[in-house]
Amino acid sequence: MNVIIIEDEKPSARRLQRMLAEIGISALTMLHSVEESIEWLSMNAHPDLVFLDIQLSDGLSFEIFDVVNLKSAIIFTTAYDEYALKAFKLNSVDYLLKPIDEDELKVAVKKFKTTFSTASSASINMSEIRQLLNVAETASYKTRFTSKVGQHIKVFNSSAIECFYSENKGTYLFNTEGRSYLVDTTIDELSTDLDPKKFFQVSRKFIVSFKAIQDIVSYSNSRLKVKLKTYNEQEIIVSRERVKEFKAWLE
């Protein structure tokens, strides 16, 4: 089976390459941008299967198909939510949610071997997938949060938030200016409201921002401790059952 990986995050691409190698599949190459993918696909025979990320370093991967008439089956690798995944189901395209799970990868490859063929890629409606993903991208995740302070309501952009945490039956946001504010929601609700590329729920008590992470150190019982740039009121510990997924998210 001839396979290529198109993924702009090189650590994620290498991780997928290793996972494929463990099930006996060698990737012909790893491509990291729309431009690089167009050049390679224009000069080489198309593989049987492409593992394709949606967002590449220089644009959406759909731009590849504006230039190249791909003759390969596709398994999308994506961080988009369930709503967006309707697009893949409608077009009989398989998909893997990031961070990719080893068992799900094996199932997807098995599905390709038993039900996919190069001819099936011709029926893929890329414009329909693009349209549904654009809707999902603009509607899925909250980017602003409010907190009532006395008679005033303060508004915070998610980009200015280091973490969310629960304490004494309340939920708080901690901003980049070093202050905490009570918000009218729960950690569980926030875990679905926030962009999973930017925030990760490390435990029942904490959700952290990727860009706020300053250091990560080993902790007892195979756990990890996260240090943020400003927040230092409590230790932020990645629960043991979330460590593997957290490491994959960092890539």
| Assigned CATH topology for domain 3-139 | Rossmann fold (3.40.50)
133 Cβ contact list (under 8 Å, min separation 6): 54, 80, 84, 87
Classify domain 144-250 by CATH architecture. Beta Barrel (2.40)
Mean pLDDT over residues 149-167, rounded?
93
The residue ranges of every structural domain in the chain are 3-139, 144-250
pLDDT above 80: residue 149: yes
Looking at residue 180, what is its pLDDT?
96
Residue pLDDT, tens place only, 52-106: 988 887 888 888 888 888 888 888 887 765 545 555 554 446 788 777 889 989 9
* Mean residue pLDDT across the chain: 85
At 146, is the pLDDT very low, low, confident or very high (cuts 50, 70, 90)? very high
Q: Compute the average pLDDT of residues 109-116.
A: 82
